[in-house]
């Protein structure tokens, strides 16, 4: 009879114990939402990596040095930075000439907006929603959390490899493939979507605190959907929530955001 070999539980058990230890020894709290998450990188190291990446991106990009759009981005950025809960960021805001409909904020407060998103943002409130979302990613340390998750997945892959070492090659490939799919669809993608939703919420709070109009957020995502040509991939296969989900979440959070704006700005 064909022998498929034996699956060893010891490496999996040891990995499970390590994963629990790793999580609780590196647990931190996200500002505003209070969510507990796993981050094992020193903030200074994270900011240094952000600065290095930012310089590399700008060195090969067409950076717009002046103009009305640059002034608007920097004005919005300064207002959002003042009300954000940053851990000592050295803020910088730049406009990159590109057709990309995108923006980003790297650790340390290094923000870039691509000119392709300006027509979709349409106005200062829409641009504040875009920038508030990206700034929220950096404040929440989503990049460092994602790196910690990927590190844990790599260790889990090693443990699974050891546990299946005595199996025949075909069965071993099936088990390793199942682990990879489980990690991707059961951990990495759901956490990525959670990060996006968390950044949407935090960004909406920042927009309201900075006295911009939070009601522009769902309108922006309607325009983003139109710019993207309609429906994208199924949500469970995507790193981002669907536009419909995001709009529905913004509508749920809107009463809170409007209250924050009234209390903070009298509007």
Catalytic residue annotation: 134
Radius of gyration, CA atoms only, the chain? 21
Q: Six-digit token pair at 203?
A: 């960004």
120 Cβ neighbours under 8 A, 6+ residues apart: 101, 126, 220, 223, 224, 227
Strand partners, 104: 112
Q: Six-digit token pair at 163?
A: 């546990």
Per the CB < 8 A criterion, the answer to whether 95 and 79 are in contact is no
Q: d(Cα 6, Cα 172) in Å, to the nearest integer?
A: 10
31 exposure class (CB count in 10 Å sphere: 0-12, 13-18, 19+): middle
């Amino acid at each position: 009879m064909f022998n498929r070999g034996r699956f060893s539980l010891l490496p999996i058990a040891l990995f499970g114990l390590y994963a629990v230890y790793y999580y609780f020894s590196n647990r931190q709290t996200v500002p505003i939402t209070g969510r507990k998450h796993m981050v094992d990188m020193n903030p200074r190291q994270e900011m240094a990596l952000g600065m290095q990446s930012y310089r590399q991106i700008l060195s090969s990009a067409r950076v717009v040095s002046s103009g009305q759009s640059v002034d608007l981005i920097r004005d919005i950025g300064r207002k959002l930075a003042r009300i954000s809960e940053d851990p000592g960021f050295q803020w910088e805001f730049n406009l990159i000439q590109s057709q990309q409909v995108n923006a980003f904020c790297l650790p340390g407060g290094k923000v870039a907006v691509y000119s392709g998103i300006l027509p979709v943002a349409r106005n200062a409130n829409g641009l504040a929603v875009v920038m508030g979302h990206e700034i929220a990613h950096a404040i929440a340390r989503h990049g460092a959390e994602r790196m910690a998750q990927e590190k844990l997945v790599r260790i889990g892959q090693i443990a699974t490899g050891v546990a299946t070492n005595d199996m025949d090659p075909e069965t071993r490939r099936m088990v390793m493939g199942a682990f990879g799919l489980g990690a991707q669809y059961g951990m990495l993608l759901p956490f990525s979507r959670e990060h996006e939703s968390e950044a949407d919420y935090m960004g909406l709070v920042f927009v309201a605190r900075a006295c911009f109009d939070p009601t522009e957020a769902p309108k922006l995502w309607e325009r983003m959907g139109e710019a993207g040509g309609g429906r994208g991939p199924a949500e469970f296969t995507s790193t981002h929530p669907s536009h419909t989900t995001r709009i529905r979440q913004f509508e749920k959070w809107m009463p809170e955001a409007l209250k924050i704006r009234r209390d903070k700005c009298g509007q």
